[in-house]
Each structure stands twice: as structure tokens, then as C-alpha cells.
């Protein structure tokens, strides 16, 4: 057998050889250091690719082109076996008055050379096909890592809220106040100066008027400091220092909020 070396090297690294080709590849690997190095190069490339968690984008056109190659090759090979020459487009019909010259004989060496040429694409097709599989596997691993990271972040945030709630409820200087809103609903504010924590819990609070936002403030000696926009969900404020005499306020601002209050507070609760 005289099989293309590149084809055998790729097949030994990636799989897909027939029994006869596998025997030939193993014999070459035992006797030829250059061939072993070529196999090792294929192994190294695949190991580096499989070791990456980043997804590789493979276009639908590239995938389809790779998967069509074996079918196209099979058709060309069939035509060559029948004619002894590479497949070509159908010629124009010959004149009935002239007969076509007989096909020139093709030597065995030429046939092997053509077979080698046909096989020369096989390592690259095999590598490309494996890369598609590895890319899909890498994308799956990447997505799993993303989901795991999101889950861990959610768990960390939940744990932080639990810790802050525990500190707040156990504080010896805990203060609790409830205030009604002009448009309906109410808010309950828990605060602890020693723990530097404020907990706001809305109750039946509707959305802000169209084009407006309800904005929260901590108002101290240095003036009002924004602590975010209010929603219908409870929130813990732990990044704004306050002291006795500070006030928690809510104002109605232009949509998106303001750097400083533009209206009087609709809620003002001593902290």
C-alpha cells in the first residue's frame, strides 16, 4: 500500500483509518521519527484546542462546506475510476461525423499520484470536523461556566442580604418607622446607626407617574446623597454613612433620577 503520509498521520492522531491503513500508520510510526513527529504535532494541536473553554464560532457555511466534501470527493472518485481521468463538466455533444479519439492510457504511477492528491485534503477535513465538535463542546463548557458563575453571584448576594438582615434585626439601636405615600401604599424603614444599615420595604406602592422616578436620599449635615431609585422591591442600603439626626427621604424626580432633589420629599423619616 502506498497511502499519503499526511493522511496516515492525521488518521493515527484523529481516528478514522481502515484496518489496513492503521497497520501501515503504526508501522511507519515505529520506524520513521519524522512520521512520529507529524503525528505528535496533530496531537498537540488537538490538545491545545480541547483545553480551551472559550467557544469558537464556526459559521453554518463552513460547517456545510466541510460536511459536503466527502460526498463531492466520492463523486469525483467514481468518475475517475470509470474514465481513468479526473471528473470534468459535461462536454458539448460531438459531431456525428467525427468519432472521439480513444482515451490515453493512465499509468499506475499516475493513478497513485492522483489518489495521493485526492487524499491530501483528508487531514485538513478531519481536523476541521474535529474542530467543529470541539467548538461545540467548548461552547457548552463556557455556557456551563457562565451559569455557574451567575448562580454563585446570586448565592453570594442572597447570603449578604441574610447577613445584613441578621445584623440589623439584632442591633440594639434598631429603629422602625412607617410612612404613607400620597399616591397610595406605604414604606417601612428599619435603620441602625451602629450597623450603618438601612432597610426599605415598600408596601402596595404603585409605579411612579409617567416620565418620573421616585428617588431615595440620605440627608445629613453635608446635604442629600442619592442612594438610588425606589422600586416595588425591598432594598438594603449599606454604602451610605449616616448618623443620629440624618433623614431618609423619597422625592419624585424626572425619569432616571437627579443629582440633587428637585422637589420636596414625599417621605421623610428620621434615622
The string of pLDDT tens digits covering residues 242-268 is 988 899 999 999 999 999 999 999 999
Three-state DSSP state, 176: strand
Neighbours of 41 (CB within 10 A): 13
Closest CA to 24 of 58, 47, 1: 1
pLDDT at 228 over 90: yes
Band of residue 53 on the pLDDT scale cut at 50, 70, 90: low
Contact 141, 53 (CB under 8 A): yes
pLDDT at 257: 93
**How far, in whole angstroms, is CA 47 from its chain's centroid?**
21
pLDDT at 109: 46
Task: Please state whether beta strands 212-220 and 223-229 pair in parallel, antiparallel, or not at all (unpaired).
Answer: antiparallel
pLDDT at 47 over 50: yes
pLDDT at 73: 47
Cell of 205: 406602592
175-270 CATH pick, 2.40.30, 2.70.98, 3.30.460, 2.60.40: 2.60.40
Q: What is the per-residue pLDDT across 148-174, written as a single tens digit (0 to 9) for each?
A: 888 888 888 888 888 888 888 888 999
Q: Which residue has the cell 448565592?
A: 155
For residue 247, what are the contacts with CB-CB under 8 A and spacing of at least 6?
218, 219, 220, 268, 269, 270, 271
pLDDT at 169: 86
Q: How far apart are CA 86 and CA 90, in angstroms?
A: 12
Answer left, alpha or beta for residue 199, where phi above 0 means left and psi between -120 and 50 means alpha: beta
pLDDT at 227: 94
- The mean pLDDT of 193-216, rounded to a whole number, is 91
pLDDT at 218 over 90: yes
Band of residue 207 on the pLDDT scale cut at 50, 70, 90: confident
The pLDDT > 90 percentage for the chain reads 27
Band of residue 39 on the pLDDT scale cut at 50, 70, 90: confident
In the chain, where the domains are located: 5-86+107-144, 175-270
H helix or E strand, kind and range, residue 216: strand 212-220
Q: Which residue has the cell 492503521?
A: 22
Q: How far apart are CA 224 and CA 246, in angstroms?
A: 10
Q: How far apart are CA 65 and CA 37, in angstroms?
A: 30
pTM of the model: 0.47
pLDDT at 130 over 90: no
Q: How far apart are CA 220 and CA 248, in angstroms?
A: 9
pLDDT at 85: 54
Comparing 49 with 268, the larger pLDDT belongs to 268
Q: How far apart are CA 251 and CA 258, in angstroms?
A: 10
Listing DSSP states for 4-56 in one string gives: -HHHHHHHHHH----HHHHHHHHHHHHH-HHHHHHHHHHHHHHHHHHT--SPP
Q: What is the per-residue pLDDT across 3-16, written as a single tens digit (0 to 9) for each?
A: 577 778 777 777 77
pLDDT at 46: 63
pLDDT at 69 over 60: no
Least confident range from 9-13, 94-98, 157-161, 233-237: namely 94-98
Amino acid at each position: 500500500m502506498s497511502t499519503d503520509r499526511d493522511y496516515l498521520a492525521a488518521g493515527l492522531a484523529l481516528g478514522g483509518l481502515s484496518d489496513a491503513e492503521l497497520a501501515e500508520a503504526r508501522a511507519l510510526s515505529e520506524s520513521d521519527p519524522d512520521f512520529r513527529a507529524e503525528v505528535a504535532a496533530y496531537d498537540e494541536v488537538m490538545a491545545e484546542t480541547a483545553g480551551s473553554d472559550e467557544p469558537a464560532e464556526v459559521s453554518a457555511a463552513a460547517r456545510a462546506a466541510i460536511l459536503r466534501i466527502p460526498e463531492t470527493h466520492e463523486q469525483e472518485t467514481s468518475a475517475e475510476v470509470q474514465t481513468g481521468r479526473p471528473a470534468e463538466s459535461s462536454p458539448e455533444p460531438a459531431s456525428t461525423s467525427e468519432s472521439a479519439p480513444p482515451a490515453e492510457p493512465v499509468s499506475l504511477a499516475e493513478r497513485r499520484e492522483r489518489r495521493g492528491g485526492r487524499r491530501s485534503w483528508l487531514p485538513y477535513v478531519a481536523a476541521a470536523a474535529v474542530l467543529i465538535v470541539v467548538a461545540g463542546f467548548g461552547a457548552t463548557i463556557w455556557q456551563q461556566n457562565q451559569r455557574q458563575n451567575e448562580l454563585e453571584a446570586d448565592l453570594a448576594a442572597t447570603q449578604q442580604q441574610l447577613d445584613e438582615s441578621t445584623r440589623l434585626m439584632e442591633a440594639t439601636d434598631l429603629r422602625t418607622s412607617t410612612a404613607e405615600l400620597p399616591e397610595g401604599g406605604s414604606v417601612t424603614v428599619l435603620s441602625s446607626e451602629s450597623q450603618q444599615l438601612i432597610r426599605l420595604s415598600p408596601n402596595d406602592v404603585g409605579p411612579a407617574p409617567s416620565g418620573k422616578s421616585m428617588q431615595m436620599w440620605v440627608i445629613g449635615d453635608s446635604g442629600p446623597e442619592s442612594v438610588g431609585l425606589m422600586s416595588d422591591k425591598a432594598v438594603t442600603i449599606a454604602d451610605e454613612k449616616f448618623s443620629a439626626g440624618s433623614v431618609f427621604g423619597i422625592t419624585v424626580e424626572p425619569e432616571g433620577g437627579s443629582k440633587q432633589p428637585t422637589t420636596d420629599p414625599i417621605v421623610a423619616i428620621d434615622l
